[in-house]
Amino acid sequence: MSTTDPQTPDQTPDPTPPTSGSSNKKPSWGFELFLIFPLIALLNLAASPLFSLALSDRLPAVLEFVEPASIALDGTEVAVEGLTTLTVPVDDLSGWAIGQFIVAKAIWILGLFVATWFAARVVSEVVQGRPFSTRASRGLAGLSWTLIITGPLFALAQVPGDNLVIRDLGLQDLDVSHSVTSNMTYLWIGAVFLAELLRRAVRRGREVQDELEGVI
């Protein structure tokens, strides 16, 4: 009587084991680091006047002189024209003017950090292949609202502060204006429109994607 060995299942390992979804996830931190460079440049522009105020007791006030003029600053005659940065001793300024100056820069710096955080969320989603995700749309919405809120708040703090500097320096008789120029306003409007346009495009792309998945 002959017996046969039962067949054993094939124990040969699969040469191509399945990969998990997490292993295919692309790191996005390298791309998000690119946001640091414009952040550093803008922070330097916003924070350097605060360091100057703290270390040298001088406030770098930016004013726009429509016509060439000569003003007395710290006992010295200074020729001014166009957009000019005046290094004003704090003793020549009121506490209200200095406070307005600090508040304006603080609003600017806080807005930069919040806008960069929302932009990093969007970049992360795009790098991971989800440009139309809800997270990307919310990130663009947050970026848009941050720009919308930060711009007017900064102007509401900066313009009165500049007017107080003009008053404290006795420049009311000159044709001089504040540092929130028309170019800055146009740049802010363009940034808001661009963020809102991208948000609407991402939202529409997600709607189209959902429609295609429903058809398939």
CA distance 44 to 51: 10
C-alpha–C-alpha distance, residues 109 and 48, integer Å: 11
Inform me whether the pLDDT recorded for 22 exceeds 60. Answer: no
Domain boundaries, the chain: 29-215
Q: Are 109 and 46 in contact (CB under 8 A)?
A: yes
Annotate the chain with DSSP letters as a single string. Answer: ----PPPPPP-PPPSS----TTTTPPP-HHHHGGGHHHHHHHHHHHHHHHHHHHHHSEEEEEEEEEEEEEEEETTEEEEEEEEEEEEEEGGGS-HHHHHHHHHHHHHHHHHHHHHHHHHHHHHHHHHTT-TTSHHHHHHHHHHHHHHHHHHHHHHHHHHHHHHHHHHHTT-TTS-EE-S--HHHHHHHHHHHHHHHHHHHHHHHHHHHHHHHHHH-
What percent of the chain shows pLDDT beyond 90? 25
pTM (predicted TM-score)? 0.74
- The pLDDT, as a whole number, for residue 43 is 77
The tens digit of pLDDT for each residue in 163-177 reads: 999 999 888 888 888
Give 76-130 pLDDT, tens digit per residue: 888 888 888 888 888 888 989 999 999 999 999 999 899 988 988 888 888 888 8
